[in-house]
Amino acid sequence: MNSTTKKDKWIIGSLLFLSFVPSVAGLVRIFQLTTGSGYTVENQRFFDDPIPVLFHIVSVLIYSIFGAFQFAPGFRNQHLTWHRRSGRALVFFGLTSAISGIWLTLAYPKVPTDGDWLFGIRLFVGFWMLFCLVLGFGFALRRKFHLHSHWMIRGYAIGMGAGTQVFTHLPWFVIVGGDPSGVPRDLMMGAGWFLNFLFAEWIIRKKGK
């Protein structure tokens, strides 16, 4: 096994691991919505209007899982045709994920556990992801692949926020217990996206050296 292969496996494995809990949660939500099980007051909004959330979950699942293979340099270089073709599809699913996330934020009623900040945070990250993907795709069309890579990293990092939020919530679950609400929930949700943003910028600057 050469060093490139080891690096590829580490990158793909880490990203798939990060997407594991949100993917399982998404599959559970799909099962609930398609079978009518697990109805509660907290998730009533999903049952009242299930189509947008189903679009969001499916898009996020495809984008997060298959997107992991786009960032492994050895795998990408050995499968350039696959990278280009699947990349176009993943841009579509990434855009669908961002747009549906914005729609859910604007159209669905606010849940009691959300604080006043989370609405604005969700809108910001949704539009930021949208901006990153559009810009990244535009740079690919212009064959500016260096900038294309940078903006796709940013877009994917924001799209993987739910995976990091599992870890930003973990101290609360261990120390306090129960589901957080209000400002603590807003801060923990925001921290997941912010940490991914910082990590993406670190990766981009590391690549530039």
Question: Alpha helices, DSSP H only, in 43-117?
Answer: 44-48, 50-67, 73-78, 80-107
Side chain identity, residue 172: W
Contact 97, 124 (CB under 8 A): no
Residue 114 β-bridge partners? 182
pLDDT for 177 equals: 87
Binned at pLDDT 50, 70 and 90, residue 113 comes out as confident
Contact 185, 117 (CB under 8 A): no
SS3 content of the chain, % helix, strand, coil (to 5): 85, 0, 15
pLDDT for 197 equals: 97
Q: Dig out the tokens for 192 from the structure.
A: 């997941």
What does the pLDDT look like over 32-83, one tens digit per residue? 999 988 887 778 888 888 999 999 999 999 999 999 999 988 888 888 899 9
Q: Judge whether residue 103 has pLDDT over 90.
A: yes
